[in-house]
Amino acid sequence: APPTSMPTNSNLPQYITIINSIARGGGAEFDEPDSYQSKARAWILQQDLPTSQSLSLEEEIAQLYALACLYYNTYAVSNAWTDKEYTTGNVIPGWISDNGWLGDPKQVCNWYGLTCTFVGLVQAIKLDRNGLTGFIPPELALLHPSLKIIDLFQNNVHNRGDIGNSFLGELVNLEELFYGSTYFEHSGGIPTELGNLKKLRELDFSYTFYDGPLNGDIFKDMTELKYLSIGGSSFNSTIPDEIVQLPKLEFFFAGLAGLKGDLEFIAKMPSIREIWIDNNPGFAGSLIPSTIGQAKSLTSFSAAGCGLEGPLPTEIGELRDMKQLWLYDNKLTGKIPTQIVMMFKIEKLQLEKNLLTGDMPAALCEKKARRTTFVELEADCDGEITCPETCCTCCGEVCVTKSEDD
């Protein structure tokens, strides 16, 4: 870590005044010399600032202080999850890459994972899969004037409760926010403060620990949102209309999310291209509605392991742009409709582990023989479905295991 000895600098009083003015704890956080805030302040007090004519001293100190807080609080810092993974006496590893960090402040825009505006304000932090631990400090909100992108995907950070989550709502200029596969935790469902992020285009908090019903009010003003990934949590909730009606939403991923209700929402999503809602047993007993044919823009749909019942509607053939359709491990009945061949662009079709009967439509087998991009056709051809060996690529429950392994 960088040294923390105090330099002799005539500007120190001014530095200290600025830092105290932005301290979220009113300065009390500096009473503990080993706090991450104290370490961040000590580092700044070593620097010869300002380093840029484009930024004011206040802007530069706020930016450097936020970044130093991030580094000191996530580099080899313990939390409840690292305590389980690394037993007493074992050293917690630091970041996988920290090139440049807390080096020359003139080079801040070259620090690993950062990109800046032309005047030198940080606009993107991309530290995904980088071995961060501890928790993401709320001081990161000091970057709100310029910060547009945060990517913290797959790090062992543990942000808990309102204190650990609410600051995200201060980052009002964010357009992309990714913190899936982390240990962000909130027992009241999705933090309501996320509703302040009205400029978001992409949002991923999948496989975090957000438990509680989905609150539609959080999403009602996210009219620019195109990508939403919320799987791997326990919402025990229907999909709110505010999500369904988002005008630009194209990608909705919500597998293993404790969702329930029916599938009528699909036809009401105005711009949707991909929906993955696998392994949501709360959909058990639901039918695939005939209205699914109205979702003309749909190219990829996955509802495996949801306990869906009833026949495949003939209207499924109206999904002309469909490329990937995964409906395996359900309780679908009846015959595979011949209209399915009208999915002209189909590449992967998995219908195994259902209660379907009869013949695989000959026209579908002919399509597969003609199109090299049609690479997967799976059904219960080891049981109630008759399918030529040259047509189906896998038969029966073994295909489900293969899909899960993939």
Q: What is the pLDDT of residue 4?
A: 45
Q: What is the pLDDT of residue 293?
A: 97
Closest alpha carbon to 133 in 81, 194, 171: 81
Q: What is the pLDDT of residue 188?
A: 87
Contact (CB, 8 A) for 86 and 43? no
CA 54 to chain CA centroid, nearest Å: 34
Q: What is the pLDDT of residue 403?
A: 67
* Alpha-carbon distance values, 296 to 10, 268, 320 (Å): 67, 11, 7
CA 137 to chain CA centroid, nearest Å: 19
Q: What is the pLDDT of residue 402?
A: 72
SS3 content of the chain, % helix, strand, coil (to 5): 30, 15, 55
Q: What is the pLDDT of residue 11?
A: 83
Model-level pTM?
Answer: 0.95
Alpha-helical segments (H) within 245-383: 362-370
Identify residue 15 by its one-letter amino acid code.
Y
Q: What is the pLDDT of residue 134?
A: 98
Contact (CB, 8 A) for 55 and 146? no
Q: Kindly give, in sequence order, each residue whose CB lies less than 8 Å from that of residue 273, ignoring residues fewer than 6 positions away.
A: 250, 251, 297, 298, 299, 300
**Cα distance between residue 237 and residue 313, in whole Å:** 26
State which H helix or E strand residue 151 sits in.
strand 149-151
**Cα distance between residue 261 and residue 250, in whole Å:** 21
Q: What is the pLDDT along the chain (406 residues), one digit of tens a residue?
A: 554 444 446 789 999 999 999 999 999 999 999 999 999 999 999 999 988 889 999 999 999 999 999 999 999 999 999 988 887 667 899 999 999 999 999 999 999 999 999 999 999 999 999 999 999 999 999 999 999 999 999 999 999 999 999 999 999 999 999 999 999 999 989 999 999 999 999 999 999 999 999 999 999 999 999 999 999 999 999 999 999 999 999 999 999 999 999 999 999 999 999 999 999 999 999 999 999 999 999 999 999 999 999 999 999 999 999 999 999 999 999 999 999 999 999 999 999 999 999 999 999 999 999 999 999 999 999 999 999 999 999 999 999 977 666 6
- Beta bridge mates, 275: 252, 301
Pairing mode, strands 122-126 and 114-116: antiparallel
